[in-house]
A and B are shown apart, each in its own frame.
Chain A
């Protein structure tokens, strides 16, 4: 067992972890941060994406012992303390960028990182930026709309946003 101290969603936490424990397992099983989910075992799907010191990582690809002293933000810590949604969360709802919602935590966390790096991405840049996050429900169309909406690069917000390219 190794002792780790870190900040998760603004809270100081400390735990003993097995050296082999993945960050995502630590978040889900020890911290109860079940908002972050596991979709695969090969680091392809991105459902477990969180922010580590402000940048997106696939938390299945990081050991818990590696995050000692770090700051981790999950989907559960993205909204403001008063419950106000992060603009990217709001955009995914507004543009119907989710259906079953399983990929959504990772998709939103990746989008936040994408927009931090490139606040006005082209459609191509959005699609390339989300390439590491799989969704089986939406066909990505409305996810791309949601990212554009969050970036302010589209004015479409009604159903026409979904109904036309």
Chain B
């Protein structure tokens, strides 16, 4: 027992702590999956289909098997049912068409890059050499490649990606505000606008993107010992363990999954991959540890892609620019299989097209389509960037139609800060926000009025280089989500998160989280939360994660959920520790529990100077010599938290670009954003998340696209061809924050991981279009390459390869056909 003065300590929350993670990362003391070497470990190489769609008529493996140091060559038929299956966790409709997805198919491949055989050898190089010797006979089949053609194939006799299914349409998912009772009839709004208001009709393309995390995926499986241990470069160790158990019949309790250091994910490692399943099956079969590490080319070819939608959009407004209705009709390319979230990605956008605006009527429909291309799934933002792009582009078009500034049209239609909490036409309740404040701050940082004046001067002077200003006043929903809401959407899992706090005898604290970081800085930010709440030094908190034997329960990291859901679980676990310690403190301090107050890590007796630190109680509990009768000798606690709502960050992003009207060259000049992400735990980490998010979104606008040739071969399958931005392509950013604390978690936090990506794409494209709108341009297909910009200026198209596809397509008759 100690009598101490009340210690003064700096609050950890809000402090720009340098990251605990960095020491090992900057010194090369890392544990990437590919770094792991085990005694007797064998290496795998995949034999992959060069065809987008083909029947496998024979696999000749004898030459490969005869190679020196080759241990085995196995096909799908060899592995049989033991290989398990790749699961879809979110059948978006009860009648969703879902092709069976074997990790290694036995009779037919459905995309170029699919694995048909695996070579096992003593070294990775020997495995790859032998893979070249495997001869596979294919009977090539027609491939469904174009999204629009594939969507209509069952009606017009076109190519079917999986012929036995009879259709390429996996699911049609629809939301209508009139049917749901959350708003009016969108068709009535459109009819009214057509008669006497403004109707904006557009078709936008969300090109196919590749997450392109820097660490290629790698998996090591060790079948020796009682549990099978799987190390994987994954975002989802817990979900992977579930899927391994559920599809192979190995008891979940016999599987341990570890996500060691993981080099980025961005949704791209939110997957149960065929390669993980194959490695698991081979290790079990041979009884030896195995490793598979993909090459970058394999990663770009076979790790799931993102986006890939056509968006048909109709926005109705009054003649003075007040929005009256929004109708969204999507075609979403799922690729060859329905991935783990798969068809749920476009559905995640369903609630966000209406964004921050007060639409009285709204309708959303997505048609999820199977093709013979790489499967698609979550990529940073997952559904919400698509929605934000569409609405923010449309609001600019509306502003142009009305003839007012893009910010003015937004202000006319957005939810004002007095109106929170606000129930939207999509049925969500936005808990907090202040769009006026974020916009005012962004405008101030940007120097908006001065740049508009410069733009006017350049236009008047007919400068070759024109200035464009782009606006994006985004919101998003993250922290997925109340489990019952996910259940109502037919999602297979819940949205809770788990945390544990272990009070060690030496005064140190172990924190276990079910979230699984791969660059986000959880070890630092979670330490800050615990240090503040428990009153222990930041340095004394150790955050453990990403190992199902240590963190036995969790739903992992994606959807900007780790802080808003996992952080709240942590807060609740800490609070339980304090409550468990209270009667013990009272006993040791010889006081009534009611007379104790807990502050700065100490229980003190009110009105006295008697106090005891919670770490001292931990030591006393360890000894357990002197505890109250009937009290268990532990103050360790755990909590599982199911969020009560989604979480709604928002912000205003402003972008200035210079466009050379003679060459189509675009130069980023300035990018400013003011995000409202509620209470900030660590501003340094937040800034990093924003910067990185911005560049991924900007890259969609300007550079990145996964391109297939007419045979279904990915021609952007290396870093030579897939244009990841470099330091030389990008600029420095100016970022700031306004703060409207979230009302649905204790800390008032909102997610930030995806915000930059969601917001920036339309800000950039709006800026590019704004630069050349006076030349008759109202759309440019992403990525806005110099060629497309030049073509848009010179032939009035959107610059895309299929100019007719971007023309307004809703005539009055077609408007009714959905």
Residues of A within 8 A of B (CB): 18, 20, 25, 28, 33-42, 44-45, 47, 74-76, 78-79, 85, 89, 92-94, 96, 98-105, 108, 123, 126-128, 130-144, 158-159, 162-165
Task: Give Cα distance in the complex from A42 to B724, angstroms.
Answer: 13
Q: Which of B47-55, B213-221, B791-799 is the contact stretch? A: B213-221
Instruction: List the 4 shortest-distance A-B pairs measured between CB atoms, nearest first.
Output: A35-B28, A100-B519, A102-B263, A101-B25
Contact across chains for B718 and A42 when beta carbons are under 8 A apart: yes
A-contact bits for B549-584, CB 8 A (1 contact / 0 none): 000000000000000000000000000000000000
Task: Give Cα distance in the complex from A132 to B731, angstroms.
Answer: 16
Task: Give Cα distance in the complex from A107 to B592, angstroms.
Answer: 58
Task: Give Cα distance in the complex from A98 to B521, angstroms.
Answer: 10
Contact across chains for B684 and A162 when beta carbons are under 8 A apart: yes
Contact across chains for B688 and A99 when beta carbons are under 8 A apart: yes
Select which of B125, B261, B297, B733 is within 8 A of A139 by beta carbon: B733
Q: Chain B residues near A143 (CB, 8 Å)?
A: 727
Given contacts A93-B22, A123-B732, contact A39 B214 (CB under 8 A): yes
A-contact bits for B651-665, CB 8 A (1 contact / 0 none): 000000000000000
Pairs across A and B, CB under 8 Å, 11 listed: A75-B26, A85-B27, A93-B18, A100-B262, A100-B519, A127-B727, A128-B727, A130-B727, A137-B519, A139-B696, A140-B691
Select which of B30, B687, B726 is within 8 A of A142 by beta carbon: B687
Contact across chains for B719 and A134 when beta carbons are under 8 A apart: yes
A38-B216, A101-B26 known; 19 new pairs, CB 8 Å cut-off, are A34-B35, A44-B720, A45-B719, A75-B28, A76-B28, A92-B22, A92-B26, A96-B685, A98-B25, A99-B519, A99-B689, A100-B213, A102-B263, A130-B728, A136-B692, A138-B688, A139-B694, A139-B696, A143-B727
CB distance from A107 to the nearest CB of B (A): 9
Q: Chain A residues near B736 (CB, 8 Å)?
A: 163
Q: Chain A residues near B733 (CB, 8 Å)?
A: 139, 141, 165
Contact across chains for B214 and A162 when beta carbons are under 8 A apart: no
Given contacts A98-B25, A163-B683, contact A131 B214 (CB under 8 A): no
Q: Chain A residues near B241 (CB, 8 Å)?
A: none
CB distance from B691 to the nearest CB of A (A): 4
Contact across chains for A40 and B296 when beta carbons are under 8 A apart: yes
Contact across chains for B18 and A101 when beta carbons are under 8 A apart: no
B16 contacts the other chain (CB 8 A): yes
Given contacts A42-B720, A137-B264, contact A96 B732 (CB under 8 A): no
Select which of B685, B691, B719 is within 8 A of A40 by beta carbon: B719
Closest-by-CB residue of A relative to B23 is A93
Contact across chains for A139 and B691 when beta carbons are under 8 A apart: yes
Contact across chains for A75 and B19 when beta carbons are under 8 A apart: no
Select which of A35, A42, A98, A133 is within 8 A of B727 by beta carbon: A133
Contact across chains for B264 and A99 when beta carbons are under 8 A apart: yes
Closest-by-CB residue of A relative to B685 is A96
Task: Give Cα distance in the complex from A130 to B692, angstroms.
Answer: 16
For chain B, residues 284 to 328, give those with C-beta under 8 angstroms from any C-beta of chain A: 295-297
Closest-by-CB residue of B relative to A99 is B519
Q: Chain A residues near B296 (CB, 8 Å)?
A: 39-42, 45
CB distance from B92 to the nearest CB of A (A): 29
Contact across chains for A35 and B30 when beta carbons are under 8 A apart: yes
Contact across chains for B29 and A35 when beta carbons are under 8 A apart: yes
Residues of B within 8 A of A (CB): 16, 18-19, 21-30, 32, 34-35, 125, 212-216, 261-264, 266, 295-297, 518-521, 683-685, 687-689, 691-696, 718-720, 724-728, 730-736, 756
Contact across chains for A139 and B692 when beta carbons are under 8 A apart: yes
Contact across chains for B518 and A100 when beta carbons are under 8 A apart: yes
Contact across chains for A128 and B684 when beta carbons are under 8 A apart: no
CB distance from A81 to the nearest CB of B (A): 13
Given contacts A139-B730, A143-B727, contact A159 B16 (CB under 8 A): yes
Given contacts A40-B296, A140-B695, A162-B687, contact A34 B28 (CB under 8 A): yes
Task: Give Cα distance in the complex from A36 to B212, angstroms.
Answer: 19
Contact across chains for A127 and B25 when beta carbons are under 8 A apart: no
Contact across chains for A99 and B683 when beta carbons are under 8 A apart: no
Select which of A78, A162, A165 is within 8 A of B688 by beta carbon: A162
Select which of A89, A100, A136, A142 is within 8 A of B26 by beta carbon: A89
CB distance from B519 to the nearest CB of A (A): 3
Task: Give Cα distance in the complex from A94 to B19, angstroms.
Answer: 9
Closest-by-CB residue of A relative to B735 is A163
Q: Chain A residues near B693 (CB, 8 Å)?
A: 139
CB distance from B260 to the nearest CB of A (A): 12
Q: Chain A residues near B519 (CB, 8 Å)?
A: 99-101, 137
- Of the candidates A28, A127, A133, A143, the one having the most CB atoms from chain B within 10 angstroms of its own CB is A127
Contact across chains for B215 and A144 when beta carbons are under 8 A apart: no
CB distance from B184 to the nearest CB of A (A): 41
Task: Give Cα distance in the complex from A163 to B736, angstroms.
Answer: 6
Q: Chain A residues near B262 (CB, 8 Å)?
A: 100
Q: Chain B residues near A159 (CB, 8 Å)?
A: 16, 683-684, 687
Contact across chains for B18 and A35 when beta carbons are under 8 A apart: no
CB distance from A137 to the nearest CB of B (A): 5
Q: Chain B residues near A144 (CB, 8 Å)?
A: 727, 732
CB distance from A60 to the nearest CB of B (A): 10
CB distance from B210 to the nearest CB of A (A): 11
Contact across chains for B718 and A136 when beta carbons are under 8 A apart: no
Closest-by-CB residue of B relative to A89 is B26
Select which of A74, A103, A139 is within 8 A of B28 by beta carbon: A74
CB distance from A13 to the nearest CB of B (A): 17
Given contacts A40-B719, A127-B728, A164-B735, contact A139 B683 (CB under 8 A): no
Contact across chains for B213 and A136 when beta carbons are under 8 A apart: yes
Closest-by-CB residue of B relative to A103 is B214
Task: Give Cα distance in the complex from A100 to B685, angstroms.
Answer: 12
Q: Chain B residues near A42 (CB, 8 Å)?
A: 296-297, 718-720
Select which of A33, A78, A99, A158 is within 8 A of B16 by beta carbon: A158
CB distance from A147 to the nearest CB of B (A): 9
Task: Give Cα distance in the complex from A36 to B34, angstroms.
Answer: 11
Task: Give Cα distance in the complex from A93 to B25, angstroms.
Answer: 9
CB distance from A8 to the nearest CB of B (A): 12
Closest-by-CB residue of B relative to A102 is B263
Select which of B26, B295, B732 is within 8 A of A93 by beta carbon: B26
Q: Chain B residues near A41 (CB, 8 Å)?
A: 295-297, 718
Contact across chains for A136 and B687 when beta carbons are under 8 A apart: no
- Of the candidates B30, B262, B736, the one having the most CB atoms from chain A within 10 angstroms of its own CB is B30
Q: Chain B residues near A103 (CB, 8 Å)?
A: 214
Task: Give Cα distance in the complex from A104 to B719, angstroms.
Answer: 18
Closest-by-CB residue of B relative to A143 is B727
Select which of B30, B125, B734 is within 8 A of A164 by beta carbon: B734
Task: Give Cα distance in the complex from A157 to B363, angstroms.
Answer: 49
CB distance from B414 to the nearest CB of A (A): 25
CB distance from B445 to the nearest CB of A (A): 9
CB distance from A56 to the nearest CB of B (A): 15
Task: Give Cα distance in the complex from A79 to B25, angstroms.
Answer: 13
Contact across chains for B27 and A35 when beta carbons are under 8 A apart: yes
Select which of A104, A132, A136, A164 is within 8 A of B25 by beta carbon: A104
CB distance from B690 to the nearest CB of A (A): 8
Closest-by-CB residue of A relative to B294 is A41
Q: Chain A residues near B263 (CB, 8 Å)?
A: 37, 100-102
Task: Give Cα distance in the complex from A108 to B30, angstroms.
Answer: 15
Select which of B27, B520, B730 is within 8 A of A140 by beta carbon: B730
CB distance from A113 to the nearest CB of B (A): 15
Given contacts A126-B727, A136-B214, contact A101 B695 (CB under 8 A): no
Q: Chain B residues near A126 (CB, 8 Å)?
A: 727
Task: Give Cα distance in the complex from A76 to B35, angstroms.
Answer: 14
Closest-by-CB residue of A relative to B695 is A139
CB distance from B558 to the nearest CB of A (A): 15
Contact across chains for B214 and A135 when beta carbons are under 8 A apart: yes
Q: Chain B residues near A105 (CB, 8 Å)?
A: 28
Q: Chain B residues near A75 (CB, 8 Å)?
A: 26-28
Q: Chain A residues near B32 (CB, 8 Å)?
A: 34, 37, 102
Closest-by-CB residue of A relative to B680 is A159
Select which of B521, B720, B725 is within 8 A of A99 by beta carbon: B521
